[in-house]
Amino acid sequence: MERNNLYPIFLKAKNLNFLIIGGGFVAEEKLTFLLKSSPHAKVTMVSPMFREGTIALAKKGCVTLVKDSYQKKYLQGRHIVIATTDIQEINIQVWKDCRAEAKLVNVADNPPYCDFYMGGIVTKGNVKIAISTNGKSPTTAKRLRQFFEDVIPDNIDDLVKNLNEYRKTIKGNFEEKVEKLNEFTKSLVEK
């Protein structure tokens, strides 16, 4: 049976510089989900044209729109790159340039040219769940996201904040604190 070997991380997007190559529907979709999850992400988009929705979205975030064709110079100072053009040769050139400069890259809808996938995300206050299908089925990730949005209570953030306050009051070393918190929260997952 095939296994998902991806390593999930939660990035502090406001500390990173993102570059999106392209200005069409896919670029707008990537920007939408990035800003929904991380409204303070610093994003530069490079494309000869931008959709009206992208222009409006850019005004709400820390987004710079550059009307130009892709050139390697735009990689300078970027940490994460997303290529979304409908010209596969350009996307693959972006991938090659990123490989040469050790930058993380995602070529939309082309898993062999991705260092990472942008999966489904559920956010309820301080709780965030990321969903990956190993790049196989974004639709499944979307449905799982909808499921978790429905079943996770809106007041989950109250629990997180209360447990954080409780954690501060626990005495002992790290191992003892973990043991007490595990005992205290055991009822949350009992069937």
Domain ranges for the chain: 13-118, 119-152, 156-188
Closest CA to 24 of 59, 1, 48: 48
Please say if the pLDDT value at position 189 is more than 70: no
pLDDT digits (tens, 9 = 90+) for 9-57: 999 999 999 999 999 999 999 999 999 999 999 999 999 999 999 999 9
- Taking residues 139-149, what's their average pLDDT? 91
Q: 13-118, which class in CATH?
A: alpha beta
Closest CA to 84 of 12, 33, 133: 33
DSSP 73: G
Closest CA to 109 of 125, 127, 88: 88
- Taking residues 159-185, what's their average pLDDT? 80
